[in-house]
Amino acid sequence: MELPFAESWKIKMVEPIRKSTREEREQWIKEAHYNVFQLKSEQVYIDLITDSGTGAMSDRQWAGMMLGDESYAGATSFFKLKEMITKLTGFEYIIPTHQGRAAENVLFSYLVHEGDIVPGNSHFDTTKGHIEGRHATALDCTIDAAKHTQLEIPFKGNVDPDKLQKALTEYAERIPFIIVTITNNTAGGQPVSMQNLHEVRAIADKYGKPVLFDSARFAENAYFIKMREEGYQDKTIKEITREMFSLADGMTMSAKKDGIVNMGGFIATRRADWYEGAKGFCVQYEGYLTYGGMNGRDMNALAIGLDENTEFDNLETRIKQVEYLAKKLDEYGIPYQRPAGGHAIFIDAPKVLTHVPKEEFPAQTLTIELYLEAGIRGCEIGYILADRDPVTHENRFNGLDLLRLAIPRRVYTDNHMNVIAAALKNVYERRESITHGVRIAWEAPLMRHFTVQLERL
């Protein structure tokens, strides 16, 4: 008999979580203006709002924190982190920051200017915000298949080479770089193939343009390449990682995902001009160059986390739990972005709440319904997150409208996955009775989903 799959770790410490009543949740979500970001953590039973900074660190990481060097300049912790990043990526210039959006802010302050066009595959919220906030344009060149949630292809996060070629033909002089998000979060945690990364590099070289990777989940992307792409089955995650980054000029990293730390990020590049141009903004916005926005103890934990999470067993345990939840949803007929992503399940909200018009934000409505059902906090990745068009100021309804259930690393058990699936089943079974959504009462001009205030209709 073949042995069943089990985790590649054992539990050493636990944290209590509390259940609440439907009546309590009705009151709490109303006080939060129907925005789950405004809920208190103790009002949440299972928290799937993000996998960013919410993972459980290993014993080695906790031990490393005790050895953190908190020197203002030249800390040994920085050089440990720099050595690990260079080993994994080949990039020699490293700037630590307090998280991924800070890395974008520092680097884009140097690279992005008014009127620029930055093509890529479904820029995530902060990336798009940092581009549009500088009066530039984030141009989506993702393959069209990503918009068809029930289509099952292995690399749904890919850049469309024809769209990218067209962008460079039309706007070459306005394009400072090409950005590739690995994995593609907005499209549903979908990976980008190594073949596609080679295609992007070839097009970039043809026009003399640099390539930047948004690398928050690069290790999960490497796992999918190993599992799904011909010729990589016998390569290690670290070998695949090195090949991926050989095709880029630099990276921004939210280390709170695949680095499995609670806070941290960095810029890494092989280009001395990018480093020289960005480092002044690091000092201005983040801190001195050898700590940026990070403590020494966090840099130690990150160096260890990057090492551990580029090993196959760790990634397999994590991604198989996401697959487990997906299989439960398959049993109940609940539509999600297929195949299951690396870090989350993305429920196709308009296919669930068929009576809620797009103007009433189906994914946000489904997010609220799931919270009311069982105290489970997901996150809308859809029409609210898309913000308004910076020119017309109209809501953007041209993308997917998804409820993201992001699974923290090494935090919840499969029993929690069963609760999530059952709660979604309950909402799905009463979907015909959900005919109205929400409207925006107040919003910020950029990245509105974090602070938006809503009213139920």
- The active-site residue out of 82, 226, 328, 449 is 449
Which residues make beta-bridge pairs with 46?
A: 376
Per-residue pLDDT of 351-397, as tens digits, reads 999 999 999 999 999 999 999 999 999 999 999 998 898 889 999 99
Q: Each residue of 406-431: pLDDT tens digit?
A: 999 999 999 999 999 999 999 999 99
- 167 in catalytic set: no
Which residue out of 209, 257, 279, 416 is catalytically annotated? 257
Q: Please report which confidence band the pLDDT of residue 54 belongs to, taking 50, 70 and 90 as the band edges.
A: very high
DSSP string, 290-359: TTTT--HHHHHHHHHHHHHTTSHHHHHHHHHHHHHHHHHHHHHT--BSSSP-SSEEEEEHHHH-TTS-GG
Strand 178-181 to 46-47 pairing = unpaired
Lowest mean pLDDT among 35-44, 85-94, 117-126: 117-126
- Positive or negative, the CA dihedral 76, 266, 452, 336 is negative
State what percent of residues in the chain have pLDDT above 90: 94
Domains detected in the chain: 22-51+312-456 (3.90.1150.10), 59-309 (3.40.640.10)
pLDDT at 188: 86
Given the residues 136, 216, 340, 344, select the one marked as catalytic: 216
Active site residue 416: no
> Which of 285, 410, 424, 435 is CA-nearest to residue 360?
435
Closest by CA to 180, choosing from 151, 222, 142, is 142
* pTM (two decimals): 0.95
> Of 214, 249, 298, 387, which one is the catalytic site residue?
214
125 flagged as catalytic: yes
Any catalytic annotation for residue 257? yes
Q: What is the pLDDT confidence band of residue 331, given thresholds at 50, 70 and 90?
A: very high
Torsion angle in degrees (nearest 10) through CA of 307, 82, 177, 194:
-30
Q: 93, 110, 124, 155: which one is catalytic? A: 124
Whether 214 sits among the annotated catalytic residues: the reply is: yes
Residue 198 designated active-site: no
Question: Stretch 143-147: mean pLDDT, rounded?
Answer: 94
Span 431-453, mean pLDDT?
Answer: 95
Round the average pLDDT of the chain to a whole number and report it.
96
Give the tokens for residue 290: 């050898």
The yes-or-no verdict on residue 24 having pLDDT over 90 is: yes
77: which DSSP letter?
Answer: H
Mark whether 301 is an active-site residue.
Answer: no
Q: How far does CA 299 lie from the centroid of its chain?
A: 21
Q: Which amino acid is at 150?
A: Q
**Residues 47, 125, 140, 258: which is the catalytic one?**
125
The one catalytic residue among 5, 63, 72, 273: 72
Identify whether the C-beta of residue 160 lies closer than 8 Å to the C-beta of residue 141.
Answer: yes
Taking the C-alpha atoms of residue 248 and residue 98, their distance in angstroms, rounded to an integer, is: 22
